Amino acid sequence: MTKNEKKTNAKLDLRINLEAIIVGIDPNHSNTKESDQSDLYDEYRKLSPEKLLKKFYAKFDSLDDKIYLTNSSNKYFGIIEQITIPEIGDIEVIRDSTIELSFKNLQEDTYQFYWDENFGSVILRVNSKDQSELHTEIITKESLSSTFNINEDQSNIFKTITDYIVIGFEHILPKGLDHILFVLALFLLSTKFKPLFFQVTYFTIAHSITLFLGVLNIVNISPNIVEPIIAISIAYVAFENLFTNKLNRARPFVIFIFGLLHGLGFAGVLTQIGIPDDLFITSLVSFNVGVELGQIAVILIAYLLLALPFGKQKWYDTRITKPMSLVIACVGLYWFIERTI
């Protein structure tokens, strides 16, 4: 979203999976084949831009009840100025269309952005006319963003830091179930501090390296490769817990390698969200700090719920470590199969 010089109008460029919106499939659906509308969705994926546009207007006269700006007293509805739909390509790959909305005669400085939760999650970026980033937020099921100011002249470094720390944290808790399970698998190896410290340190160093390299586009590996390997990394580390409760020499090295791949996953998310050019390093470091805080939160919760009350019990390994590790390993294997099919 970009404000103009007069501070009375704003433009929203919305990148969206138009086929999913028309058919009624949550755009965040991990596998559209599981939806009752999958056949219709596949049919729409094969439509030309012109035909798909007709389907859109046949379903939506406007987006007034789906997307709008609001403050304490008024709602401001956007006018659809243009819809850009790419030509038919690989129908196995999501086709991102762009809807351009304009908001006229905005009377206030601060607003919230309403987004229909049935459209899935969305990344909201508010920029000034010179493209300085004023606000960044991921909206999921809450539907309403936090309050932002469209008439700020430049990026606020403190706000950028807090925005990206929150985004990084939320990518782990509550949204990053695969990363949560990997960290839990590390935690379950032993109730002692030293093994956990070394594992988390190796993992942190590794994913920080590839997060930076990935965002800078120095290293670029397809998510179709990265995501299945992340899944198998979860299974591997969890399965190893079934046979040992000691930190052997090979495990830190293996964790480091897997950490490099997790970092590429983080980089993919951050690249999708976008980083302001004027505060690039600040945003990147802040996101990584948020990720680390999320991991620490996972470990702290696991410690308070498991290790602190039960860690010294003789049955801790057989009743907690082994069963939980087995479940995590099976989930990792399931994800690996799901992500490779």
* Beta-carbon contacts of residue 119 (< 8 Å; ≥ 6 apart): 16, 21, 27, 66
**Same domain, yes or no: 206 and 77:** no
CA distances to 125, 126, 130, 148, 262 from 3, in Å: 11, 8, 9, 12, 36
Residue after which a domain boundary falls, among 89, 123, 154 = 154
Residues 93 and 203 in one domain: no
304 shares a domain with 188: yes
- Chain mean pLDDT for the chain: 87
Same domain for 148 and 10, yes or no, is yes
| Residue 24 lies inside a defined structural domain of this protein | yes
pLDDT of residue 83: 93
Residues 139 and 179 in one domain: no
Does one domain contain both 177 and 142?
no
Query: Could you tell me if residue 165 is inside a domain?
Result: no
Highest-scoring range by mean pLDDT, 8-12, 148-152, 245-249: 245-249
146, 186: one domain: no
Q: Which of 91, 122, 154 is the last residue of a domain?
A: 154
Q: 303: which DSSP letter?
A: I
Instruction: Identify whether residues 184 and 271 lie together within a single domain.
Output: yes
Residue 335 domain-assigned (yes or no): yes
176 shares its domain with 308: yes
Q: What is the pLDDT of residues 224-265, one digit of tens each?
A: 899 999 999 999 999 999 998 888 888 999 999 999 999 999
Q: Classify residue 40: in a domain, yes or no.
A: yes
- In a domain, residue 295? The reply is yes
Residue 163 in domain: no
Residues 123 and 180 in one domain: no
Q: Using CA atoms, how far apart are residues 110 and 126, in angstroms rounded to an integer? A: 12
pLDDT-derived band at 140, boundaries 50, 70, 90: confident
**Domain check: are 180 and 328 in the same one?**
yes
Q: Is the pLDDT of residue 26 over 80?
A: no
pTM of the model: 0.72
Is residue 163 over pLDDT 90?
no
Burial 251-274 (b: 16+ CB within 10 A, else e): bbebbbebbbbbbbbbbbbbeebe
Query: Of 99, 129, 154, which residue constitutes the final position of a domain?
Result: 154
Domain presence at residue 242: yes
Domain of residue 176: give its range.
171-340
| 213 and 323 together in one domain | yes
Residue 174 has, within 13 A of its CA and on its CB side, a CA count of: 2
The answer to whether residue 161 is domain-embedded is no
**Counted domains in the chain:** 2
